[in-house]
Amino acid sequence: MKIVTLAVPALAFLLPGLPALAADPPPWDVASPDGKVVLAVSRAGEGGNSTLVLSASIAGSPLLADSPLGIARVDARFVEGLSLDSAGAVSSHDAKYTVLHGKRREVIDRYNERTLAFRNAEGAKLEIVLRAYDDGIAYRYRFPDDGSKAVRTVKEEASGFRLPAGTTVWANPHDDPSEYTPGYETFWKFAIPAGTPAPKAAGWSFPLLYRTPAGRWGLITEASLDRTYCGARLAREAPGGLYALRFPDAGEGNNTGSVEPSWTLPWATPWRVVIAGESPAPIVESTLVENLNPPSVVTDGSWIRPGRASWSWLSDPPSPQDASKLKPFVDLAAEMGWEYTLIDANWDIMRNGTIHDVIGYAKSKGVGPLMWYNSGGPHNYVTERPRGLMDLRKVRRAEFQRLKEWGVKGVKVDFFQSDKQNVIALYQDILEDAADFQIMVNFHGCTLPRGWSRTYPHLMAMEAVRGEESYLFDEHYPAEAPRHNAIQPFTRNAVGPMDITPVMLRDNRYKRLTTVAHELALPIVFESGILHFAGTTKEYLDLPPVPKEYLKSIPVTWDETKLLVGEPGQLAAIARRSGDAWYLGVINGEDRPREVSLNLGLLGPGAWKATILEDGDSHSVPLDRKADLASTEPFRVTLRPDGGLVAILIPRPTR
């Protein structure tokens, strides 16, 4: 598929020998390195009532119509009547970095940047930093240092995203605050008209996916959120397709923390981001959110080891309190060659042995233990334990030291329920302390990824999605699951690693409707630094040799990712490369059969021996077959309703 971008760069950008664009009049723009994506800032209105607006285009077609800019602190307002101090020249950045897990091992970080400096009527200064990438745009506000050490507070942002008229949207309703929310775990609204109000006062979560009438695609989100700010979302009402930015609700985090962020100068907001393409492929394949984050703070990442894990809780929630029930899951991990076993909630009230018995048994089998913690603290009142060990630095570091001495490899920290600044700081405090003790981290009951895995590569996964645990407590989940799965690569998983706990081959309390091949495809369709398998020991160990070997050998680190074909909520065909082998995962999100033609030419020239897993008559056992495939010929696939397919492509020897 063709990677897309936006319109024609300004003359001063095209001809580097010319000076930067004149300080005024606007528009002030910046184009992507390939010249197709253009981000522009201009004025709306006159004189002291004028405001700044931002627009963007891709391949000459609108991506954003005039969208409001502006931000207000308690002590200074930067919305109306801003005067331009300088419109900086365009600078270019072209670099590469490698990651330990994600969509691809070697990441290209290439963009053009421009900074516009303004002041308000009282002389207070604001900078707007603009970036244009080949796969999207980003901007952020920055308050320069004014020599004062005073703490400043942001009251609100005037930022918004105005979508072109006639745009179609896929959006995730944000939850109102409760004991377990917000958690980014609602079901999506599919292909609704832009401007449709959210069903709840909390508004819409990031990311928001859309397609313009001209067939351009965008994904709105934010990146590089840190402890100096709060997490944002989009407002409930979007009149005329204008989605305004809004801050968290006061009730989040059990009413702890302030809605309005505060910090000292200099100070920058998170990046406001639109990933863009002429098809959905650039969104699925993008690393833009990670690129906008600072480089890794971990100098030696040899202890960070992505992998697979067995997990007992979903099949038997009390099992983490019983050593005799945990040991078979250790045996499962050892038998399957999986690196880890997850010991979930309430392990500190163990019976039939102690936690030390389980950890020792895991270590004797060559399996690394991962352990669950409640993040609270006063910001939640969930009683699952251990709790009270993650929210205070001295206590947390003592616990991490203890875990390191025990040989524990990672933690799953749960129940955050807030995007306020105090809880965003807690995430980063946990990550920074965990790095000191070489402990990997998985967040649950949590916020959306903002690219933190680049800075903290031991952040292996985040939940922020309604996962397969819902087969235990949500009677509506089975009917929603097929299309719910089929939208994630275009939305939630597009912005960071996702722990959805896939591959349930049996039925839980509520019978699944997805087929066995659909479930087997999910570890390819979804990306996560640690893959937690949702099933029981028996359902995996009783598999026939071919699917069992597939689950033994499935990678979680990828050298490359491609969307072969896809329609949000209807179909996703993802190809991921590990070494010389390509892994294809295809899922049908609809309750009807589909014939799909996959263009293997997108993988590059080649010919492969393929092992294929597909649906037969069984609800829990797939069929397997072999095939010869080539990049010069389409790979035609027949999918059952709610079905799927796995294909493992190994290069054929050349004569």
Residue 247 has pLDDT above 70, yes or no: yes
CA-wise closest residue to 485 among 508, 505, 503: 503
- Per-residue pLDDT tens digits for 102-125: 999 999 999 999 999 999 999 999
Provide the pLDDT for residue 24: 59
155 exposure class (CB count in 10 Å sphere: 0-12, 13-18, 19+): middle
Provide the pLDDT for residue 12: 36
473 contact partners, CB below 8 Å, separation of at least 6: 509
Percent of the chain with pLDDT over 90: 95
- Per-residue pLDDT tens digits for 429-461: 999 999 999 999 999 999 999 999 999 999 999
Position of tokens 């406001």?
272
CA-wise closest residue to 484 among 185, 37, 81: 185
Decide: helix, strand or coil at residue 377: coil
pTM (2 decimals)?
0.95
- Per-residue pLDDT tens digits for 211-246: 999 999 999 999 999 999 999 999 999 999 999 999
pLDDT band, residue 26 (cuts 50/70/90):
confident
- Per-residue pLDDT tens digits for 307-362: 999 999 999 999 999 999 999 999 999 999 999 999 999 999 999 999 999 999 99
Please state the rounded mean pLDDT for residues 581-596: 98
CA-wise closest residue to 592 among 570, 572, 613: 570
Cβ pair 474, 491 in contact under 8 A: no
Please state the rounded mean pLDDT for residues 146-164: 97
Domain boundaries, the chain: 1-71+80-151+270-294, 307-556, 571-651
Query: Mean pLDDT over all residues of the chain?
Result: 95
Provide the pLDDT for residue 10: 38
Residue 5 has pLDDT above 60, yes or no: no
Which class does domain 307-556 fall in? alpha beta
Percent of the chain with pLDDT over 70: 96
Characterize the bridge pairing of strands 368-374 and 340-343: parallel
| More confidently predicted of 10 and 391 | 391
DSSP tag of 580: T
DSSP 249-299: -TTTTTT-S-SS-EEESSEEPPEEEEEEESSSHHHHH--HHHHTSPPPS-S
Please state the rounded mean pLDDT for residues 348-377: 98
**CATH of region 571-651, choose from 3.40.50.1580, 3.30.450.20, 2.60.40.1180, 3.40.50.970:** 2.60.40.1180
Residue 20 has pLDDT above 70, yes or no: no
Which class does domain 1-71+80-151+270-294 fall in? mainly beta
Q: Pull the structure tokens for residue 594.
A: 């589909």
Provide the pLDDT for residue 22: 39
Residue 133 has pLDDT above 90, yes or no: yes
DSSP tag of 496: S
- Per-residue pLDDT tens digits for 605-638: 999 999 999 999 999 999 999 999 999 999 999 9
Provide the pLDDT for residue 653: 83
Please state the rounded mean pLDDT for residues 374-387: 97
DSSP tag of 204: B
Provide the pLDDT for residue 610: 98
Provide the pLDDT for residue 68: 98
Comparing 4-8, 399-403, 540-544, the range with the smallest average pLDDT is 4-8
pLDDT band, residue 6 (cuts 50/70/90):
very low
